[in-house]
Structure 1
Amino acid sequence: MAKVAPSEDAIDRYDPAAIEPRWADEWERVDLYRAREDSPKPKYYCLDMFPYPSGDLHMGHLEAFTGGDVIARYKWMRGFNVLHPIGWDAFGLPAENAAIARRIHPKEWTYANIEQQARSFKRIGMSFDWSRNFNTCDPDFYRWTQWLFLKFHEAGMAYRRSVAVNWCPHDKTVLANEQVVNGRCERCGTAVTKRNFPSWFLRESDYAQRLLDGLDELPGWSDHIKTIQRNWIGRSEGADVVFTIDGRDESIEVFTTRPDTLWGATFMVLAPEHPLAHALVHGTPREAAFAEYLERVKARTEIDRLALGKRKEGLDSGARAINPVNGEHIPIWVADYVLLEYGTGAIMAVPAHDERDGEFARQEGLPIREVIRPKEGAVDVQSEPYVGDGFMVNSGPFDGTPTPGGIPKVIDWLEEQGLGTRSVRYRLRDWNISRQRYWGCPIPMILCDKDGEVPVAMGELPVLLPDLEDYSPTDSGQSPLAKKTDWVNVTCPACGGPARRETDTFDTFVDSSWYFFRYAGPTAEAWADREKVEYWMPADHYTGGITHATGHLIYSRFFTKVLHDVGLISFDEPYPELLNQGMVIMGGSAMSKSRGNLVTPGEIVGRYGADCARVTMLFAGPFEADVDWRFNTAIAKLMMLTNEIADARDASDADLGEAVGALVRMLNPMAPFISQELWLRLGTEGYVQRADWPVADPALIKVDHVTMVVQVSGKVRDKIDVPADIGEEQMKERALASDKVRAHIDGREVVKTVIVPPKLVNLVVR
């Protein structure tokens, strides 16, 4: 480095306003954090979830990005070649809604915020490689988003169909299932309704089992996150059973995890949106009533339709199905508590052993038949369903068979009789990637009345997002792009006839499903440089919020598996280690721009400096309780070392210098500015970031004896000097032999002994 003098006005006083910007400029000038593929050091890809540029950074950003920055800086000092990039998730609703509220164009708002966030990141000392920075709204990036979509389409992984989709009346756009939480839009909280739209989907459900299996290959993910994903993917084992319809050629297939209750199916229920529901009432006196009923159902949220204790609304179709196991003719109802998206959209109703079926049967006066009886006692299934284990009754050849152990036997019998087949189903659905909003990546497809959906030629990418003066969302469900007729109307590449562009834009999660590849291998010639991607990926560490567990963290895993299968990469998991930070709370709510409860880092940095803000945030508590990155503990240890150095009045200058040098180096990941200033004041050349991490000599820290604390029910009763290598049994003996301890346990029962070798014994008494 060039010779840099210490700050002249800060010999006895640390002035962050003078010192920190100076070092930030110096690091940027020398490109200190640029990653290189030709380094002989082992690589370490430290990845942070990139931010939305919908405003300035807030304290939640500071927590999230400081955690990743500490890890990156630590790895630099431990001898790794570190890639620590940054970019912006610049398309999508957050930026567009903020722009609408301020009556400016999303592009203007987005780029202004990117500039502001970049300044803030530099001011708080982030060790980013700025040479790899990009924004997803740049054509140089979204050209390759479009290219990847066409590769998915080419592989049969993308399709378009008209379907009832989740609709947010406030944001006026379709939502993926993962963006609906308890029947409401995850962003604005509006109750979600259903509307029919032609939409583009990716076949995510084809990868359900691989997404499940892959979780076992992610040792660096918390069990909590993996459980959330397993539940979301939702593997269920059971049987597919076909019920024929009396007097008609159609049949109804149901999937059930409880085929042992088939003999208790006394009616069937179709989701109101099921194609067969209308067919059964078509041309009958019930048709008009069904049409009115369907309109009422469309206005209800899923949470209302599924809620227990609420009156269910249904309609008897008049048709009858034949129960394949006993030949009984049972009524086919249409009811709102069955959803088309789950299973087959049709159920066999077993009111004696299912709460919703039981509620509906009692409401409509439908028969209830017990087929599972508890092993002990009795339950009146006419008044409440029995959902526990027991043995089968009223079940023909299976009477007396214990359940759930009888389930596989029933499935075997169904297959032998040709009445059903063993089956596995998943809760995970295909990903709806169409959005009826302006500020997004255009979908590179052309719609032709003759040739259907025709891909834009790869050589004509990117399909640029046109400028619009009026980009507000529409109530009709059409994208604002539909108003740009000179952009929409084109010639079909297949037949040369008139055609129109797809006017929906991609869900912004499409961009974030692959952005980390672009960091690893930036190039103008391809979606990513394959050689560089193979060098850096999979990412060694990923930091981000748990709120993305069923969204981005599944989408990006799915994307990576497809990219592997089409031959673009050699691996199929993007990041084996995941660290989920907590949320910064303000006024009882997680801090976010949409809630208007922000405190910006700039306010803290302006008063106390960036290092103070960083260390305060890291010291506030464990970054995430399930992982080893205990930043608050590390800071506490550095405080202890500082006190030890201050008390070492008899130490030699050489020993003090070595101790202070080690302290400064260990402080650097958390407080990069003051540590760099102190490093220079110690008379050391170069950047502390490039110094080696201190290595402890075990021989020097080995002790022969330690102080063992003895507690009785959590209260300290004695402290005993013991050998450092003492065993647990000896610790217990020494504790029980103490007169001070005996005074508190004599005449009482020791119900539990907690031992932490070699320093603690806690005797729990009563």
Structure 2
Amino acid sequence: MKYDFAAIEPKWQKKWLEEKTYHCENHSDKPKFYGLVEFPYPSGQGLHVGHARPYTAMDVVARKKRMDGYNVLFPMGYDAFGLPTENYAIKNHIHPAKVTHDNIENFTKQLQMLGYSFDWDRVINTTDPEYYKWTQWIFLQLFKKGLAYKTTMPVNWCTSCKCVLANEEVVDGVCERCGAPVVRKEKSQWMLKITEYAQRLIDDLDDLDFIERVKTQQKNWIGRSTGAEVDFGTTEGDKLRVFTTRPDTLFGATYMVIAPEHPFVAKWAEKLSNLDEVNAYVQEAARKSDFERSELTADKEKTGVELKGVRGVNPVTGREIPIFISDYVLVTYGTGAIMAVPAHDTRDWAFAKKFGLPIIEVVKGGDVEREAFTLKDDTGVMVNSGFLDGLTVKEAIPVITKWLTEQGIGEEKVNYKLRDWVFSRQRYWGEPIPMIYCEKCGWVPMDEHDLPLLLPDVESYEPTDTGESPLSKMTDWVSTTCPRCGASAKRETDTMPQWAGSSWYFLRYMDPHNRESLASREAMDYWAPVDWYNGGMEHTTLHLLYSRFWYKFLYDLGVVPTKEPYRKRTSHGMILGEGGEKMSKSRGNVVNPNDVIAEYGADTMRLYIMFIGDFEKAAAWSANAVKGCKRFLDRVWNLSDMAEDSMEYSAANESALHKAIKKVSNDIEAMKFNTAIAALMALVNDFYQNGLTRGDLGALLMMLSPFAPHMVEELWENLGYAGKFGGMACQQPWPAYDESKTVAAEVNMAVQVGGKLRSTVTVPMDSEQDAVVAAALADAKVAKFTDGMDIVKVILVKNKLVNLIVKPRV
């Protein structure tokens, strides 16, 4: 009988949906397992192979966990607010709600077509008012606790999209979405004080099962550094406070640099003799993103302008030093001002060389005229440093810090690179921010009982020329009364960023239909934390930080039961096009899962996507390898005609079966899916060579079930296993292995005579030397070279080879 995937796969997909095969309850006597994949943005392009890799991987894990006896929560939903949908809606004159509905419908169809074992009763959609009601509720709690505030700040502004962009959305000075120029401008923005949680976000990583590169990225993004804040005087009487991790090098500070946006630039304008040059540089810097400005590369040109007319004063030497503006200093990082020690910092050295500034060595040990060097060794000795001379760096840091404190011009300080989270978007398609502005009371939160604040239905959702949200034109919606004093007031017209809904979605899966809370405490007590979260490396900084921050805040409120949301986090590599290039429409190498499924079936797609290579690394698509996976499934299908009618393991395959069960079990847990499949392929080869029983085939099918569930269920049903064992293959216990049977009873060993290979012999595993030598001498091929010889030495490598060193017998 032919393997007709086109008929088999829809049959089982329909059956799984109708019977709710993968439904899970919030209470069970079984141990729980919560496996999570990042929910997709439902774009018009639909599902792509980049989605299929992590989804299939976690589906394999979830399916095996069910067979291992776990109550498995494996959910799916849609991160559906955001700019791409709004831009598409504007371009095509279709309401974003309609675009979102159609895209979700298409995504759902594709996900079900791949046979994923999601609990479809728990689907969430961030644009559903019953969902974003609780996103708004969390925002209100943040505001009430002083962690949400509004301030004016410089932002990245896309001149075409007419909205604020995050730093990572700006590439080479243009919007990554539309390619239009991005400028810096001042805007009033809602901010979330994630910096209050910076240290906890670092410390609590130690207890988590995250891969090391994820932990490293989190720590680097937060960027904790210990040092001192120091006040430098100026000739205008103002004080410039700087943060430095190396206060011991203060005697080597020969100039200062402040951010082009620093308020002192405007304050000192009348004192500057080169104001036109300064203003031109400020405007140029405004056209660059923070990321471009702070990116450090060896060949990056150092630019800046001296503020001629104002000088700084080094607080330890009393000497006047020049002050520059340069775009590599950000007003949003630290104090917006730095001291420059060019003898001991590569960037400062290059800047000093370009502008002809003094370079003073203060830590002995380098050629300051040739290149800058940064001494991190605590044993470096201070020179040219007054009362610090002769001290090691380790000794000097506390001495200078104490001195600064006593003089009232500095203090010890811990600094973080992490900035507060910009939480406003001047767009339509996002969660309305539930705040009201009253001229008398200021910003007042909505009453929680009035949530959700619904996004109004508008005819025009195009951005305004002023940069305000399209909601600002909805005067009837904007006009309201103050909840505190009853006076006329206005609603906030900015909306939340897409990050909002994705910062807590994993909690809603635990209890998705709850109308009284974001999820019941009972459900969260049972499911939290997520046991295994897999997602892309591109989301291991911001998304992971933001969601950990929200969860920790909810923990502080007593809403959630654990201090961290995810116990384990893994990440996957990209799938590249044929030849190893990134997939893109322009290259014409994008692989559409629908096309692969139509030609080869979903199980072939699933199997190949797991066989493609090391899960954590990028891998190139290969059409030939896809065909190879289809041939493997054909071979499995044809085994049913060969199997003997016995439910016992055959003697010929018993050891191979136990080895395969152990290998596949361990490899799925380790996300080594490619080697797990290779083990199954080797087992099938053994079956074709040795023959097989129905017992052998049943074990193979259960191991193959997580990878190719449709074909396995069809064979399971056709061969009568469903009636014999009760239920589907995916509902059976995972096959067990006997450790003793995974070790071969015998082993083939190479036999060398005088270091040259002469034959091989089969001996019992772990045989002692005498037994191996006896077996070797009994071999006719070996005897040709040992007859008439004395063995003077034996070299034995257990279970691998024996080398007989001989000489002629006298």
User: Into which bin does the TM-score normalised by the smaller protein fall?
Assistant: 0.7 to 0.9
1:152 counterpart (126, 142, 153): 142
Q: Is 2:287 the counterpart of 1:299?
A: yes
1:387 counterpart (364, 374, 378): 374
Q: Is 2:600 the counterpart of 1:608?
A: yes
- Helix, strand or coil for the counterpart of 1:370? coil
1:84-483 maps to which residues of 2 (within 5 A)?
84-177=74-167, 179=169, 192-219=182-209, 221-246=210-235, 248=237, 250-282=238-270, 290-302=278-290, 305-306=293-294, 309-316=300-307, 318-374=309-365, 379-381=367-369, 384-388=371-375, 390-403=380-393, 406-483=396-473
Equivalence for 1:575: 566
Q: Is 2:660 the counterpart of 1:668?
A: no
Distance 1:594 1:93 in 2: 22
Assess, with a 3 A threshold, how the Cα gap between structure 1 residues 184 and 291 changes in structure 2: closer, same or farther: closer
Where in structure 2 are there 5+ consecutive unaligned residues?
A: 618-666, 786-796, 803-810
The amino acid of 1:347's aligned partner reads: I
Task: State which drifts further: 446-455 or 429-438.
Answer: 446-455
Task: State which drifts further: 441-450 or 694-703.
Answer: 694-703
- Helix, strand or coil for the counterpart of 1:696? coil
The amino acid of 1:606's aligned partner reads: A
Preserved CA contact (<8 Å) 1:354 1:387:
yes
Equivalence for 1:33: 22
Assess, with a 3 A threshold, how the Cα gap between structure 1 residues 577 and 718 changes in structure 2: closer, same or farther: farther
Task: State which drifts further: 477-486 or 193-202.
Answer: 477-486
Task: State which drifts further: 267-276 or 622-631.
Answer: 622-631
Distance 2:305 2:759 in 1: 72
Preserved CA contact (<8 Å) 1:191 1:301:
no
Task: State which drifts further: 197-206 or 263-272.
Answer: 263-272
Identity percentage over the alignment?
48
Deviations 1:363-391 (A, max 9, x none): 444333232331xxx5243x643334643
Preserved CA contact (<8 Å) 1:262 1:325:
yes
The amino acid of 1:15's aligned partner reads: D
Equivalence for 2:633: none
Distance 1:340 1:198 in 2: 16
Shift of 1:632: 1.2
Distance 1:661 1:442 in 2: 55
1:643 counterpart (664, 668, 685): 685
Preserved CA contact (<8 Å) 2:163 2:467:
yes
Preserved CA contact (<8 Å) 1:281 1:290:
no
The amino acid of 1:278's aligned partner reads: A
1:536 counterpart (520, 527, 537): 527
2:735 counterpart (694, 700, 705): 694
Distance 1:178 1:313 in 2: 24
Deviations 1:200-249 (A, max 9, x none): 11111111111111111112x1111111111111111111111233452x
Assess, with a 3 A threshold, how the Cα gap between structure 1 residues 760 and 513 changes in structure 2: closer, same or farther: farther
Assess, with a 3 A threshold, how the Cα gap between structure 1 residues 179 and 531 changes in structure 2: closer, same or farther: farther
- Helix, strand or coil for the counterpart of 2:571? strand
Equivalence for 1:680: 717
Assess, with a 3 A threshold, how the Cα gap between structure 1 residues 305 and 119 changes in structure 2: closer, same or farther: closer
Distance 1:372 1:265 in 2: 12
The amino acid of 1:562's aligned partner reads: F
The amino acid of 2:351's aligned partner reads: F
Distance 1:97 1:595 in 2: 24
Deviations 1:417-466 (A, max 9, x none): 54422221111111111112221111111123332211111111111112
Shift of 1:478: 1.6
Shift of 1:702: 3.7
Assess, with a 3 A threshold, how the Cα gap between structure 1 residues 270 and 675 changes in structure 2: closer, same or farther: same
Preserved CA contact (<8 Å) 2:246 2:397:
yes
Shift of 1:81: 0.4
Distance 1:457 1:606 in 2: 52
Preserved CA contact (<8 Å) 1:583 1:591:
no
Preserved CA contact (<8 Å) 1:318 1:332:
no
Assess, with a 3 A threshold, how the Cα gap between structure 1 residues 294 and 402 changes in structure 2: closer, same or farther: same
> How many residues are paired up?
719
TM-score by length of 2: 0.82
Greater CA radius of gyration, 1 or 2? Answer: 2
Distance 1:54 1:45 in 2: 26
Shift of 1:554: 1.3
Shift of 1:590: 4.0
Equivalence for 2:69: 79
Shift of 1:323: 1.8
Shift of 1:260: 1.9
Deviations 1:472-503 (A, max 9, x none): 23453222222222222222223333322211
Task: State which drifts further: 82-91 or 354-363.
Answer: 354-363
The amino acid of 1:201's aligned partner reads: M
Shift of 1:145: 0.5
Assess, with a 3 A threshold, how the Cα gap between structure 1 residues 302 and 540 changes in structure 2: closer, same or farther: closer
Distance 2:89 2:768 in 1: 66
Equivalence for 2:477: 487
1:547 counterpart (538, 544, 567): 538
Task: State which drifts further: 76-85 or 633-642.
Answer: 633-642
Assess, with a 3 A threshold, how the Cα gap between structure 1 residues 697 and 303 changes in structure 2: closer, same or farther: closer
- Helix, strand or coil for the counterpart of 1:193? strand
Assess, with a 3 A threshold, how the Cα gap between structure 1 residues 498 and 317 changes in structure 2: closer, same or farther: farther
Distance 1:706 1:188 in 2: 64
Shift of 1:25: 0.7
Shift of 1:182: 7.1
Assess, with a 3 A threshold, how the Cα gap between structure 1 residues 334 and 127 changes in structure 2: closer, same or farther: same
- Helix, strand or coil for the counterpart of 1:201? strand
Deviations 1:504-531 (A, max 9, x none): 1111111101000000122011111111
Task: State which drifts further: 201-210 or 638-647.
Answer: 638-647
Distance 1:400 1:366 in 2: 26
Assess, with a 3 A threshold, how the Cα gap between structure 1 residues 674 and 443 changes in structure 2: closer, same or farther: same
Preserved CA contact (<8 Å) 1:85 1:519:
yes
Deviations 1:165-223 (A, max 9, x none): 2333444322334555676656566664321111111111111111111111112x111
Preserved CA contact (<8 Å) 2:36 2:74:
yes
Shift of 1:401: 3.0
Deviations 1:275-312 (A, max 9, x none): 22322335766666644443233123446545654251
Distance 1:213 1:458 in 2: 33
Assess, with a 3 A threshold, how the Cα gap between structure 1 residues 448 and 269 changes in structure 2: closer, same or farther: same
Assess, with a 3 A threshold, how the Cα gap between structure 1 residues 309 and 602 changes in structure 2: closer, same or farther: closer
- Helix, strand or coil for the counterpart of 2:322? strand
CA RMSD after TM alignment: 3.3
Query: Which gives a bigger RCO, structure 1 or 2 (Cα 8 Å, sep 6+)?
Result: 1
